[in-house]
Amino acid sequence: MTKLPSFCFVLSAGLVITFALPQSAALAADEAKLAAEPVSHDAQFESQSWSFNGPFGAFDRAQLQRGFQVYKDVCSNCHSMRLLSYRNLGESGGPEFSPQDVDILASQVQVTDGPNDKGEMFQRPARPSDRFRSPFPNDAAARAANRGALPPDLSVMAKARPGGPDYIYALLTGYRQPPSGFELSPGMQYNIVFPGHQVAMPPPLFDGVVNYTDGTRPTLNNYARDVSAFLMWAAEPKLEERHRFGATVMIYLIAFGVIMFLAKRSVWARLHGKASHTA
């Protein structure tokens, strides 16, 4: 019994680490990554307060819908999202477009299908079950259209960079004039968070470039925030289900733990009673 407090302490310390340290750990990882770059260390970025943060976090439907609009109108001109299907846009825990909206969004896109019974490929409007159409037929075509740079697929981008959506937001809002003395390679842009500060992607977002219809102000910061949230959903579409189910599991386990503790104490009390009798 005397060891129980220390044991509980160890496990609760583990829990604290689980819940409290992810952000600092992520930042430490960023620092480690950035420190290794042969450039200055000033490329840090802030954590944003996202609706999906924390153990009870959930996505903001309207934000995801706006974010999809930003992706569709701007990002999708160069960046694929080959792991997503149009049907995902209507699934629960995501932007939750209505089935009619999903049909319309899909049918606005022409995809290649086939071969038909003549052995020919043909174009048809996309169906909800189709994957998002990629802007380029292959990587070589994508490079050819972008001065040799390959726009990465965005399906899991929010999990593929330290900092995730915070990094994406900081990148999209991080374009600046290069400081004096900084030698920018031809065709490159200066960005305060991109490793090495030179990024081939031109600043994609400007105030007013996407028409918001829900009254949200059409600013660069709002676009960047919305599309970062959208990419987080795209990378982690089961996040809400995970948080919800997690709460159930935690409540169950903690209640089970209390019962087990009481059962353990009562069983061992039996022994102590007997032992003190005989001792």
Partner 1 sequence: MAHSSSYEPSSGIEKWIDARLPVPRLMYDQFLAFPTPRNLNYWWTFGGILSFMLVSQIATGVVLAMHYVATPTNAFDSVEHIMRDVNWGWLLRYTHAVGASMFFLAAYIHTFRGLYYGSYKAPREVLWILGVLILFLMIATAFMGYSLVWGQMSFWAVTVITNLFSSLDAVIPGLGTRLVQWIWGGFAVGGPTLTRLYSLHYLFPFVIAGVVVLHVWALHIPGNNNPTGIDVKSARDTVPFHPYYTIKDGFALVLFAVLFAGFVFYAPNLLGHPDNYIPANPLQTPQHIVPEWYFLPFYAILRAIPNKLFGVATLMGAIVVLFFVPWLDTSRVRSTSYRPIYKWFFWAFVVTCLVLGYLGSQPPEGIYLVLGRIFTAYYFLFFLLVMPVVGWIEKPKALPGSITESVLGPEKSSPASPQPAPRRRTPEPAL
- Residues of this chain that bind partner 1 (CB under 8 A): 3-4, 7-8, 11, 14-15, 18-19, 22, 25-26, 29, 32-33, 35-37, 55, 83, 88, 152, 155-156, 159-162, 164, 195, 235, 237-238, 241-243, 245-247, 249-250, 253-254, 256-257, 260-261, 263-264, 267-268, 271, 275-276, 278-279
Q: Residue 114 or 257: which CB sits closer to partner 1? A: 257
Q: Residue 63 or 88: which CB sits closer to partner 1? A: 88
CB of residue 106 to partner 1, shortest distance in Å = 17
Q: What own/partner pairs with CB < 8 Å and gap ≥ 24 does 136-144 have?
A: 136/78, 136/80, 142/78
Q: Residue 19 or 182: which CB sits closer to partner 1? A: 19
By the 10 Å C-beta count (0-12 exposed, 13-18 middle, 19+ buried), 132 is classed as buried
Cα 110 to chain centroid, rounded: 27
Which residues have CB under 8 Å from 168's CB, separation 6+? Answer: 157, 158, 161, 224, 227, 228, 231
CB of residue 100 to partner 1, shortest distance in Å = 23
CB of residue 274 to partner 1, shortest distance in Å = 10
CB of residue 15 to partner 1, shortest distance in Å = 6
CB of residue 122 to partner 1, shortest distance in Å = 25
Q: Six-digit token pair at 240?
A: 């809400």
75: how many CB neighbours lie within 10 A of its CB? 23
Q: Residue 160 or 209: which CB sits closer to partner 1? A: 160
Ramachandran angles phi, psi of 230, nearest 5°: -60, -40
Which residues have CB under 8 Å from 264's CB, separation 6+? Answer: none
N- to C-terminal Cα distance for the chain? 19
CB of residue 112 to partner 1, shortest distance in Å = 19
The maximal CA–CA distance of the chain, rounded, in angstroms, is 94
Nearest to 178 by CA among 186, 170, 168, 166: 186
Segment holding 122, helix H or strand E:
strand 122-125
Q: Residue 26 or 220: which CB sits closer to partner 1? A: 26
Q: Residue 206 or 261: which CB sits closer to partner 1? A: 261
Q: Residue 125 or 246: which CB sits closer to partner 1? A: 246
CB of residue 60 to partner 1, shortest distance in Å = 19
Contact indicator for 87, 135 with CB cutoff of 8 Å = no
